[in-house]
Amino acid sequence: MNLLLLEPEDIVGPGRAIVRGRRLSHVQDVHKSEPGDTLRVGELNGLMGEARIIRLDKSELELEYAVTQESPPALPVTVLLALPRPKMLKRTFQALATMGVKRIVLMNTFRVEKSFWQSPWLRPEAIREQLVLGLEQGRDTVLPEVILEKRFKPFVEDRLPVLSQNMRKLVAHPVGGEECPRAINEPAILAIGPEGGFIPYEVERLVEYGFECVHLGSRILRVETAVPVLLSRLF
């Protein structure tokens, strides 16, 4: 936890907060902080700054803090991710939030297992928890927006054209296409396939809607690896 994120309910007065639960345990057990120590903090969806520990006991961490610093700039990218299996989804949410992605679309594709859509990890509070962990890691306060698209065809035909307007459109696919560009310096939407990959029909539809098919060479990366590799290469 490189930033202690303060939720609205933690804030008990101007520049005062009381934190409990996971963040309290982390400050006690991992940081091994004591009263008088300082911590880096941020208000969720707000500014970042520094806090001083006023009180620390088994049940509460009381902080006095001041926030003046903006969170780091977002990556100008929308990530369109075929829904991965729950274990990978958790890690991928964290990585996306850590790297500064602010819009994530989880979409269905032919090779996404139907049962994944029933996962408890897709509940809003579970998604939020993973995103917060990612923000704390990356020292950012701004929660990404997550959109669930459970049907590929109507999404691609009806909503994707609006969502991807004025963006460079890229679909990562190991077969065919061009080498993935580097440091593109322009807003983009990036589609990443499921564990079994996109089927040809899906790639064709995306290309029809203006997506460029790009590859990262002959090594096939897991989704959780492909995401940071693609983002670091593009931005």
Contacting residues toward ligand SAM, per CB under 6 A:
172-175, 192-193, 195-198, 215-217, 219-223, 226
Three-state SS at 191 = strand
With 0-12 / 13-18 / 19 or more C-beta atoms within 10 angstroms meaning exposed / middle / buried, residue 100 is buried
Q: Looking at beta carbons only, is 16 or 85 nearer to ligand SAM?
A: 85
Q: Looking at beta carbons only, is 17 or 226 nearer to ligand SAM?
A: 226
Closest approach of ligand SAM to the CB of residue 79, in Å: 11
Angle between helices 86-99 and 223-234 (to 10 degrees): 20
Q: Looking at beta carbons only, is 134 or 174 nearer to ligand SAM?
A: 174
Closest approach of ligand SAM to the CB of residue 214, in Å: 7
| Cβ-based neighbour number of residue 41 at 10 Å | 24
Chain position carrying tokens 């307007």? 165
Q: Looking at beta carbons only, is 75 or 214 nearer to ligand SAM?
A: 214
Q: Looking at beta carbons only, is 26 or 111 nearer to ligand SAM?
A: 111
Q: Looking at beta carbons only, is 61 or 223 nearer to ligand SAM?
A: 223
Closest approach of ligand SAM to the CB of residue 62, in Å: 45
Q: Looking at beta carbons only, is 110 or 117 nearer to ligand SAM?
A: 110
Closest approach of ligand SAM to the CB of residue 231, in Å: 12
Residues 216/230, Cβ–Cβ less than 8 Å: yes
Q: Which helix (H) or strand (E) holds 226?
A: helix 223-234
Closest approach of ligand SAM to the CB of residue 232, in Å: 14
Distance from C-alpha of 203 to C-alpha of 129, rounded to nearest angstrom: 32
The token duo for 231 is 């983002």
Please give the order of strands across the beta sheet that includes 77-82: 145-149, 103-107, 77-82, 188-192, 168-172, 212-215, 178-179
In terms of Cα–Cα distance, which of 232, 222, 210 is closest to 92?
Answer: 222
Residues 77/235, Cβ–Cβ less than 8 Å: yes
Closest approach of ligand SAM to the CB of residue 198, in Å: 5
Closest approach of ligand SAM to the CB of residue 83, in Å: 12
